[in-house]
A = this chain, B = another copy of it.
Amino acid sequence: MGRAQTGTGARPPRATIIDVAREAGVSPATVSRVLTGSKPVSAEPEQRVRAAVARLGYRPNPAAQGLLRGTTSAVGVVVPDLSNPYFAEVLKGVTNAAQHADFRTLVADTGEKAGAERDAALELSRWADGIVLCSPRMSQWELTELASAVPRLVCVNRRSRGSRIPAVAVDFGAGVASICRHLRELGHHRVAYLRGPARAWSERARQRAVRTAAGSDLEIVQIPCGSSSVDGHRAADAALASGATAVMAFSDYVALGALARFDELGVAVPEEISLTGFDDIALSRLVSPRLTTVTVDKQDLGRRAWDLFVDTGADGRIGSVVEVTPELVVRGSTAAPTGARASQRETAGDR
């Protein structure tokens, strides 16, 4: 209320602790003690200080505090792409947890460029007490070297065997395994897998599970694809041509692209072909048929990353590696193969 209301632009310089001290008739030290509670102050001066603070609208200068404390009360989050709801959710998880602990969140978007990750993290780490690195695409070597240059580093969805970098990661292998089990139980024997980006750590984790799951009664056809919905749209034809009765997509996004393509082609899901995703994004519940997928609580991922961040004290104590097991949710996009299309292959093969 009062003079500041008029937006004359001649904004008065922010009040400092010295202004408050003068106004309250005490020393700056006393003001600091009242505000931080670092040492008790008797009632009467405290009243005067509080009144002066309110009157001047004083708020301590964080730069000065940071300079003195040597800590910023901020965490940096580096993501490949904010447009991707997956990362947006993880960011939200971190931010909410951080807010709770009176920490600010800095964010950087690397635009999916692996080369930008290192610089973004390094730059952000100047302004933060540490970094949460989401699904880093950089090389293992680069990651290790980065970990030593940043005060605290926590990874999301990237575990590194050698270097001890705290991480929270989805158990992609378990997810793939549960999808494969589900499809085999439905009676599928030939599944097309729409592969993610070859360099992604999570794709490599899936590959291990795919190789384990494939066996005498389950053949898995690998189809190069990618991570976006247009990749899925593009790869759908190849999946169809492979003669598979079910398509396991790298992610929900990819699956939705494939679904759109199937729709265009008049291929019925799940009657003619089953389809699965990975991640359980919000849309997967809205398309028809609703997508069978594997569910990951992305905000929880962020929250856990924060917990790890806290655990990883600046004292060098190191957080551990947390693994989150995703859960299969069976919806409408998977069913037993009816032979509508499968029969073509089977009859052709049997004769």
Q: Which residues of A contact B (CB under 8 A)?
A: 4-5, 7-11, 57, 59, 61-64, 66-67, 72, 74, 81-83, 85, 88-89, 91-92, 95-96, 99, 104-109, 111, 124, 126-127, 145, 147-149, 151, 163-164, 229, 256-257, 259-260, 263, 282-283, 285-288, 299, 314-318
Contacts and interface: CB of A to CB of B under 8 A. Distances in A.
Contact of A96 (B111, B256, B259, B299): B111
A320 B127 CA distance: 31
Given A82-B92, A85-B83, A11 B151 contact: yes
B283 A286 contact: yes
A-B pairs with the 3 shortest C-beta distances? A9-B316, A63-B66, A82-B92
Contact of A67 (B64, B95, B282, B317): B64
Given A104-B124, A288-B263, A318 B62 contact: no
A286 B260 contact: yes
B109 A317 contact: no
A223 to B, nearest CB: 19
Contact of A260 (B7, B8, B288): B288
B106 A99 contact: no
A104 B105 contact: no
Contact of A83 (B7, B89, B106, B260): B89
Chain B CB count within 10 A is highest, among A127, A314, A316, for: A127
A100 B263 CA distance: 41
Nearest to A71: B63
B82 A149 contact: no
B108 A316 contact: no
B9 A315 contact: yes
Nearest to A233: B286
A7 B163 CA distance: 9
Contacts of A260: 285-288
A270 B127 CA distance: 52
